[in-house]
């Protein structure tokens, strides 16, 4: 299927990505081409096939709920661009 401007805008919102005016046509064209190629899967009748997310059975892995040493607070915020008093600093989110 073809990717319209509307659909591209919608997907951009889901992905929190702006698509610049210069990149818009190229993005639309390339994604449309790829999605159209993906449509080939419709040639296969898969009604009886169960979807497989992992090649091998994967189970939830649990551990005992005991306190263990974790990473230092100072280290965790080391790579943050904005920080204050040992916390991540973000623009005001709630009025």
Partner 1 sequence: MELCQMSGLELGKKIKAKEVGVVEATKAVLENIEKREQSYHCYVTVCKEEALAQAEAVQKKIDAGALDSPLAGVPAAVKDNMCTKGMQTSCASRMLETFKPIYTATAVQKLQDAGAVILGKTNMDEFAMGSTSETSFFGATKNPWNQDHVPGGSSGGSAAAVAAEEAFYTLGSDTGGSIRQPASYCGITGLKPTYGTVSRYGLIAYASSLDQIGPMAKTVEDVAEIYKIIAGHDKKDSTSVHQPAPSFTLCPDMKGKKIGIPMEFFGEGIEEDVKEAVYHGAKVYESLGAEVEEIKMPAIGYAIPAYYIAACAEASSNLSRYDGIKYGHCATKYDDLVDLYYQSRSEGFGFEVKKRILIGAFVLSSGYYDAYYNKALQVKALIKQSYDDAFAKYDFLLTPTAPTTAPRVGESLKDTLKMYLSDICTVSVNLAGLPGLVVPCGFDKKGLPIGLQLIGKAFGEETLLNAGLAFQTATDFHKKTPVGKEA
**Footprint on this chain of partner 1 (rule: CB under 8 A):** 3, 7-8, 10-12, 14-20, 23, 26-27, 30-31, 33-35, 37-44, 46, 49-56, 58, 60-61, 63, 71, 75-76, 78-82, 88, 90-93
Q: How far is the CB of 48 from partner 1 (least distance, A)?
A: 9
Q: How far is the CB of 62 from partner 1 (least distance, A)?
A: 10
Contact between 35 and 27 (Cβ < 8 Å): no
Q: Please name the residues in contact with 88: beta carbons below 8 A apart, sequence gap of 6 or more.
A: 77, 80, 82
């Amino acid at each position: 299927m073809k990717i319209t401007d509307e659909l591209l805008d919608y997907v951009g919102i889901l992905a929190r990505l702006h698509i610049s005016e210069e990149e818009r046509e190229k993005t639309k064209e390339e994604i449309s081409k790829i999605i159209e190629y993906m449509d080939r899967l419709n040639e296969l009748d898969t009604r009886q096939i169960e979807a497989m997310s992992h090649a091998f059975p994967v189970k939830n892995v649990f551990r005992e709920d005991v306190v263990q040493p974790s990473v230092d607070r100072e280290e965790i915020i080391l790579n943050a661009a904005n920080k204050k008093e040992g916390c991540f600093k973000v623009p005001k989110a709630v009025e």
